[in-house]
Amino acid sequence: MRVFALVFFVFLSSATIAQKAPGPVLQEARPETVGMSSERLQRLDRLVQMYIDSGRQAGVAVLIARNGKIVHHKGYGYDNL
């Protein structure tokens, strides 16, 4: 009975903490809304894809955020050659 009560207390405590402080959550936004350029991010796409196509890089993951907003995210290639 004591073990069950302890487990229940730990579960209840962690659930309460999670509800009070979920932490920051990033949301997506258009690049222009945070002062970035969609055209320049497309250039980044082409550059990274060039590295993948030439075999210089097997895979790349990109995430760009500004002012708490995700403005670009994409995965390229594979995890290995």
SS (H, E, C) 56-72: CCCEEEEEEEECCEEEE
Residue 48's domain spans which residues?
Answer: 25-81
Q: What percent of the chain has pLDDT over 70?
A: 70
Q: Identify whether the C-beta of residue 57 lies closer than 8 Å to the C-beta of residue 51.
A: yes
Residue 7 placed within a domain: no
Residue 18 placed within a domain: no
pLDDT at 10 over 80: no
Instruction: List pLDDT tens digits, range 21-52.
Output: 566 788 999 999 999 999 999 999 999 999 99
Residue 9 placed within a domain: no
Residue 79 placed within a domain: yes
Residue 10 placed within a domain: no
Describe the strand order of the beta sheet including 59-66 as a list of residue ranges.
27-28, 69-77, 59-66
Residue 6 placed within a domain: no
pLDDT at 12 over 60: no
Residue 80 placed within a domain: yes
30-39 contacts, C-beta under 8 A, 24 or more apart: 30/71, 31/71, 31/72, 33/69, 34/66, 34/67, 34/69, 34/71, 35/66, 36/64, 36/66, 36/71
What's the whole-number average pLDDT of the chain? 79
pLDDT the model gives residue 80: 76
Number of domains in the chain: 1
Residue 42 placed within a domain: yes
